[in-house]
Amino acid sequence: MKKLKLLFLLLFVCMSAFQVSAQVADPTDVLINKKSYWQLSSRIGYDFPMFKEDFKFIEYKGGLMAGLSVNKYWNHWGFEIDFDYIKNSPTTTIGNTAFGYQPGGPVAGSVISFPTETTKTDISRMFIGIGPAYKWQSKNDKLTIELAAMGGLGFINGGEILVNAVNKPSTINDVLTYHSGFDNETVLTFKAQARATYWFKGGKWGVNGGVYYMNHFDVKKKKKNQ
């Protein structure tokens, strides 16, 4: 498996109460009822990773994501610049105890159990990109819905995981499963985002929530320990 495509679906709100109190708090530096203005927003949420190819006994769990966006609008259309930082962790489905078949010896033909040992490093990703953005705004200026599509660079590092068998018979392999992770990969990345913002009185501050999808293209595994 020389090449790997990573797909990531990032959710930074999941319910309305969570959007305001915990997920996102976005300062903006202009009144939203102006036709031309700059907008600065921040976000924090949860990332769900999806791999195009499955790894035997290995999964990547969701984790923290955080980011900043800068928008420039001329009435409904404009552009968006995004920066994102994402953290995930590999895990194994084998668990702390594994089972194996012993073909010979005093317990020939029996299924035996033995402990496992897992070593791993978290996988971190960063994204910086730019692209067009569209804004719909309610008549009372309280609600804004924004759509954006961006292209840029993704930076991927870490994600190595090794599961060893411990105190096992000689008939069982030492390595139960392994993935080498990624070594400071820089890849082309696409991101699509949708978000809704509720503005407080005066239009300078608001809270938002939304989802976005990110695709890293032509990601290669670490060459070390193939």
Helices (H), the chain: 16-18
- Which residues pair with residue 39 across a beta bridge? 71
**Residue 7: left if φ>0, alpha if ψ -120 to 50, beta else—which one?**
beta
| pLDDT tens string 174-202 | 788 888 888 899 999 999 999 998 988 77
Provide the pLDDT for residue 5. 62
- The answer on pLDDT for 128 being more than 50 is yes
| pLDDT tens string 143-176 | 999 999 999 999 999 999 998 888 766 666 678 8
Name the nearest CA neighbour of 44 among 60, 28, 65.
Answer: 65
| pLDDT tens string 12-38 | 543 332 223 223 334 444 444 457 888
Percent of all residues in the chain with a pLDDT value above 90, rounded to a whole number: 38
